[in-house]
Chain A
Amino acid sequence: MLTRAQHLSGAPPSLPLSIGLACHVRLSYTVNHMVQYPASRLDASFGALSDATRRGVLERLGRSDASITDLATDFQMTLTGMRKHVGVLEQAGLVTTRKVGRVRTCRLGPRRLEDETAWIEQQRRMWDARFDALEQVVAERRREEQSDGYPKRR
């Protein structure tokens, strides 16, 4: 039985670009891209990601922004403990925080923007590969038409 795309890939309902091909190349690319970061940045990122709670916080913020209090509640942790984790994520550029009144709101950080640029470039390369193949098919088709004198049909 065929399964709908998002159920298999775990991707959200809206698939990136036409006919969703992009979602399959993104994981390996994201990781490769991260490896190219300067070592100090890399250490900070990996240090931040080496903790299960902090990874959970990133997943949580991927769904929506949240206050430190929300996060502390979600992860059954003291405010001080959660502040520390958020601090580490903030240092690595994975999370940004903003204080309005007495509430500090956390969201995914600027690293996300760099990754978006990488995603766009990855998409572009995919389309280039696709268009190269299209060009070959078109050239072949033209040769067939010229030698047959009329288009070959099924």
Chain B
Amino acid sequence: MDIRSAAETTATQDRATIERTSERELVVTRTIDGPRDVVFQAWTDAELFEQWWVPKSLGMKLLSCEIDARVGGGYRLTFDTGAAEPMAFYGRYLEVRPPSRLVWTNEEGDGDTVVTTVTFADEDGRTRLVVNDRYPTKEALDEAIASGATSWNDETFDQLDEILRRLATSGH
């Protein structure tokens, strides 16, 4: 698909796939080079989790990360997004079965709780990860995709205006 990405892919490294598998589900999969007990630990130990969940390329900074990975326990992450106030994401763990399965809620949206299920499968010493985001309704997932795809708000139009100006001055 992308020449540069393909060239970077080594024999031990897969690329993630992402697919809308049903009206309410988005699924991300990838194989990680490492045994699943360690991979599982990296999802449930805050000290490890905060080292990888927000890759530098996202342009966001993780300010705090609390994880209590027990059934009924919660997590809470706060981010610096460049806005005046930090942004918080939080939820509860519904299932914690080391080293094979982790289920949590994403409760930051009013009433529209997305449930994330991560399964860790052993593949000859490597770990096949399947991350499933289940939306409460088809409409909720449609809306999430549409809001990401076509966000017709002031900020978008400000950016468009800027491009229009650039095109105008370059004689387009």
Measured between C-beta atoms, what is the minimum distance from A54 to chain B in Å?
A: 11
Interface 1/0s, chain B 52-73, versus A by CB < 8 A? 1111011110000000000000
| Chain B contacts for A135, CB-based, 8 A | 13, 32-34
Interface size class of B (residues with CB under 8 A): 35 or more
Please give, as numbers and ranges, the residues of chain B lying within 8 Å of A138 by CB-CB distance. 32-34, 38-39, 42
Residue contact B163 to A116, C-beta cutoff 8 Å: no
- Please name all residues of chain B whose beta carbon is closer than 8 Å to the beta carbon of A39 when the two chains form the complex: 172
Q: Mark B133-172, 1 if CB is under 8 A from A, else 0.
A: 1011000110111111111110111011001100100001
For residue A21, which residue of chain B has the nearest CB?
Answer: B58
Interchain CB contact (< 8 A) of B145 among A16, A19, A133:
A16
> Contact: B144 with A16, CB < 8 Å?
yes
Question: Chain A binding site: helix, strand, loop or mixed by DSSP?
Answer: helix
- In the complex, the answer to whether B156 meets A18 with C-beta atoms within 8 Å is no
Report the contact-size class of chain A (Cβ under 8 Å from the partner): 35 or more
A sample of 8 more A-B contacts (CB under 8 A), given A8-B81, A124-B15, A128-B16, is A13-B110, A19-B77, A55-B157, A62-B150, A127-B28, A127-B131, A138-B38, A145-B38
A interface list, Cβ under 8 A from B: 1-6, 8-28, 30-31, 34-35, 39, 46, 49-50, 55, 58-59, 62, 108, 111-112, 115-116, 118-120, 122-124, 126-139, 141-142, 145, 154
